Amino acid sequence: MAVQWYPGHMAKAKREVTEKLKQIDVVIEIVDARIPLSSRNPMIEELISHKPRLVLLNKSDLADPETTKAWQEAFSDEFTSTLTIDAQHGKGIKQIPQEVKKLASVLFAKWERKGINPRAVRTLILGIPNVGKSTVINKLAGKKIAIIGDKPGVTKKQQWIKVGKEMELLDTPGILWPKFEEEAVGYRLALTGAVKEDLLDFQDMAVFLLRFMTDTYPEVLKSRYDLSHIPEDMVELFDAIGRRRGCLVSGGEVDYDRTAEIVFRDFRQGLFGRVSLEHPGDKQI
Ligand code: G4P
């Protein structure tokens, strides 16, 4: 699970990733398809520099398919390919070596010009905690690899895993930290499980989520809590949900803390269905 990041941790993680990147031809960056911006490291461009990159929009089984499609287009450029995957169920994994090979074609041409014998393309998985790095490594390896948890600084002997004939993968991922500056980013990370929920207030998170659902997925919200309409006033909305879910204290008042926690847990458990919390067209991103 998520580590607490301090400046020292970040500096160390940056050093470790920079060191690993020296051996790497193509970078595989994993983001959570529900929050592709909030689940990215703020320094990623600087770290990767001009290396070709494959962005994996993982956990697509939990994200809105239309929005994921829009993200796929938004991310792709000359040096960046994008794949939508669901690593837990192994969907999209087979396409990874093919995309890596395509991205490495410039490299192959360079080797040929210089008379260097072609070798397997060396790759590294990069991402913030909980985006699915270990799951992807295990799926690509076809077996369970002992992966040191989300603890930057804990080292083990690194090994290359062969993936087909033309790709090699470092068996330890590069672990990066998420952005922390904006409150909304913290809420999105907590709602999707990337940071510990106890760092944030349930009522704040529930208000954030209910506002977002009201604006973006009102029908989903109505059907989840069996509401005939969504009250504009947040207290009334809490009242309606709290009553539906029997969150009452003595005297018949709604227990707002419990209601907030229920809303939060419903989202975390995927009970709202496939919801993306960020869209490339959003102004607030
Ligand atoms: P990390 O190495 O980047 O930290 O992530 P890891 O692979 O450990 O994955 C974090 C959690 O996300 C795991 O759940 C994993 O099963 C889940 N996960 C990974 N890929 C996908 C995906 O494509 N779809 C879904 N739905 N889940 C995915 P876990 O450790 O069992 O935690 P939890 O299931 O108790 O939340």
pLDDT of residue 283 exceeding 60: no
Q: Does residue 135 have a known ligand-binding role?
A: yes
pLDDT at 285: 47
Residues β-bridged to residue 83: 56
pLDDT at 152: 55
Q: HSE (CB half, 13 Å, CA atoms) of 197?
A: 15
* Residue list, ligand 1 pocket, CB within 6 Å: 58-59, 61-62, 86-88, 127, 129-135, 150, 193
pTM for this model (two decimals): 0.93
Contact between 275 and 217 under an 8 Å Cβ cutoff? The reply is: yes
Q: Does residue 49 have a known ligand-binding role?
A: no
Q: What confidence tens digit (pLDDT) does each residue in 199-246 have?
A: 779 999 999 999 999 999 999 999 999 999 999 999 999 999 999 999
| Ligand 1 centre distance from Cα of residue 201 (Å) | 23
Q: What confidence tens digit (pLDDT) does each residue in 50-73 have?
A: 899 999 999 999 999 999 999 999
Instruction: Let me know the angle formed at the C-alpha of 78 by 73 and 83, rounded to the nearest 5 degrees.
Output: 45
- Cα distances (angstroms) measured from residue 169 to each of 39, 100, 174, 220: 22, 11, 12, 40
Q: Does residue 61 have a known ligand-binding role?
A: yes
| Ligand 1 centre distance from Cα of residue 111 (Å) | 37
- For the chain, the structural domain boundaries read 9-170, 201-269
Fold of 201-269: Conserved Hypothetical Protein Ylqf; Chain: A; domain 2 (1.10.1580)
| Ligand 1 centre distance from Cα of residue 130 (Å) | 6
ipTM for the complex?
0.96
Q: Identify the CATH number of the domain defined by range 9-170.
A: 3.40.50.300
